[in-house]
Structure 1
Amino acid sequence: MFKRITCTRIDGGQIVRDAAGEAPAAIFVNGRHLTTVILSPGGFQDFITGYLYTEELIRGVDEIESVRVEENRISVLTKNPFRRGSVKKTILSGCGGAVSYIDTQKLPSIDSDLTVSVPEIAAAVAALPAPGMLDAVALVSGGRIVACSEDLDRHNALDRVIGRGLRDGLDFSRTLAVGTGSATSEMVRKCLVAKIPVLITTGPPTALAVKIGEETGLCIVGSAGTPEMAVYTHPERIAGISA
């Protein structure tokens, strides 16, 4: 995931430093090009499972017939070979894909009685990998991390842990997602598709993420692990605090 790179210090002299690897990967579903993504190398099986699920191209791992990973290409065959699809990113960033303007009436809503405590939030954030060149996302259930991944992009990291959860038969309605960086509308959408009721990030959420979370039942906690930690939506899911 990292490569040793020789560079020149600004004050002179050579130094060797770690540089995060990145791999462009074209995703083909049933022989048709879906999109191209930039990923951290490795762990493509978890990523593609979570990605196809959060893009609502599959409803579970049992709909995947096969996955073939080649250099710069991930080819997926589903049990329905005629299935077509397109990416459903709420906000288009980078190249490829199609914009889907926000209509919360068409998004899934959260139906879970899960509540978490402030100490549980603190423990989950503390268990994340130390801040570095990659974003990290973890799924926590019953007070323990059940899936954790790092990637250049926190949205990819979220897909990776959702994919791992699907492959492990995890009940997402009893989990919370914890990640580095800010909560975005795209992270919110992915949590809604997976029925994850609580999203916690070390940075503040975007205004659009808050709007969607409020209208769909998702609890969003921002700036976790800092004195600025706050509950932005559905504080009733956090035990021991009042709105």
Structure 2
Amino acid sequence: MFKRITCTRIGGESLARDAAEETPVAVFVNGRHLTTVTLSPGGFEDFITGYLYTEEIIRSADEIESVRIEENRISVITKNVFKRVSVKKTILSGCGGAVSYIDTRKLPAIDSGLTVSVPEIGAAVAALTAPGPLEAVALASGGRAVARAEDLDRHNALDRVIGRGLRESLDFSEMAAVCTGTITSEMVRKCLIAGIPVLVSTGAPTALAVEVAGETGLCIVGFAGTPEMAVYTHPERITGMEG
């Protein structure tokens, strides 16, 4: 995921540093171009499985008939080869496109009795890869990371771990997603599609992410692993908060 490059520091010294690699990848489904994404190299089968699932193009990994991965192209054939596909948009347009909003009534609501303890959150955060140029996401159960991925973009990393979970038949309703960086409304949407009830980050959520999560039953925890850790939505899912 890294390439050694040469750069010049202020003062004239030449040195070599690792730079994260990025690969533009065209995604084709049933012979039609769906989108082009920029990914870290490798792990494309996990990514495409999770991506197609969170875009609601497939409902399970079993709906994928075949995946062909080339250097800059992922070609997927689904079992329903005549199904027309498109990318979902988090922000929806209102009347005449004059208003943008998220209609939470069209998003799934969380249906899970999962609770997560503060020590389990700490253990899951510790299992993330050390901070660096890539974003990290893990699926955690009981404080243990059961799937983990890194990517340039945390949304792609989230798709990667969801894809791994689908391929390994994991029960998302009993897991928390733990990530680095800002929690966005798009990450909330992906967790809702997968039925993941708790989303934890070492960073902060956006105001829109908090609004959507609050209306749909998703618990958001921000600044995990720091003294500033706080629960933004549905604190009933977090135990051991009393100090």
Does the CA contact (< 8 Å) of 2:23 and 2:72 recur in 1?
yes
Q: CA deviation at 1:241?
A: 3.3
| Match of residue 71 from structure 2 | 71
CA contact (8 A) 2:6 2:16 kept: yes
**Is the partner of 1:138 in helix, strand or coil?**
strand
User: Would the aligned equivalents of 2:119 and 2:143 in 1 still touch at CA under 8 Å?
Assistant: no
Q: State the match for 2:121 in structure 1.
A: 121
Q: Which residue of the partner structure matches residue 152 of structure 2?
A: 152
- For 2:142 and 2:118, the matched residues in 1 are separated by 14
Counterpart secondary structure, 1:209: helix
**1:28 and 2:28 correspond:** yes
1:95 aligns with none
Q: CA deviation at 1:168?
A: 0.4
Mapping of residues 131-170 of structure 1, within 5 Å: 131-170=131-170
Tell me what 1:62 maps to.
Answer: 62
Structure 2: how far apart are the matches of 1:9 and 1:154?
A: 29
In 2, Cα distance between equivalents of 1:41 and 1:54: 21
**Hey, what does 2:96 align to over in structure 1?**
none
Q: Distance in 1 between matches of 2:215 and 2:86?
A: 25
Aligned-pair distance for 1:142? 2.9
**C-alpha separation in 2, matches of 1:72 and 1:183:** 28
* Native 8 Å contact 2:127 2:144 kept in 1: no
Contact 2:137 2:161 in 1 (8 A): yes
- Give the letter for the 1:24 counterpart: P
Give CA-to-partner distance per residue, 1:211-235, whole Å, 9 cap, x none. 0000000000011111211000000
Alignment TM-score, normalising by the size of structure 2? 0.94
Task: Quote the residue 1:232 is aligned against.
Answer: 232
1:167-222 CA deviation, whole Å, 9 max, x = no partner? 00000000000000011000000000000000000111000000000000000001
Q: Secondary structure at the match of 2:224?
A: coil
Partner in structure 2 of residue 105 of structure 1: 105
Q: 2: CA distance between counterparts of 1:10 and 1:17?
A: 15
Q: What residue number does 1:97 align with?
A: none
For residues 89 and 138 of structure 2, the distance between their equivalents in structure 1, rounded to whole angstroms, comes to 21
The 5 A counterparts of 1:175-186 are 175-186=175-186
Shift of 1:240: 2.9
Q: TM-score, normalization: structure 1?
A: 0.94
Q: Which runs of 5+ in 2 are unaligned?
A: 93-99
Cα distance, 1:50 vs. partner? Answer: 0.3
| DSSP-derived class of the 1:85 partner | coil
Aligned to 2:130: 130
1:198 is matched with which residue?
A: 198
Aligned residue identity for 1:73? R
CA RMSD in angstroms comes to 1.3
Check whether the contact 2:122–2:143 (CA below 8 A) recurs between aligned residues: no
CA contact (8 A) 2:121 2:143 kept: no
Residue aligning to 1:39: 39
Are the equivalent residues in 1 in contact too, given 2:116–2:142 (CA < 8 A)? no
For 2:181 and 2:142, the matched residues in 1 are separated by 24
What residue ranges of structure 1 are gaps of 5+ in the alignment? 93-99
Distance in 2 (CA, whole Å) between partners of 1:142 and 1:229 is 18
Secondary structure of 1:205 counterpart? coil
1:91, distance to aligned residue in structure 2 (A): 4.6
- Supply the AA of the counterpart residue of 1:115: T
How far did residue 85 of structure 1 move?
1.7
Name the CA distance, whole Å, in 2 between partners of 1:234 and 1:207. Answer: 15
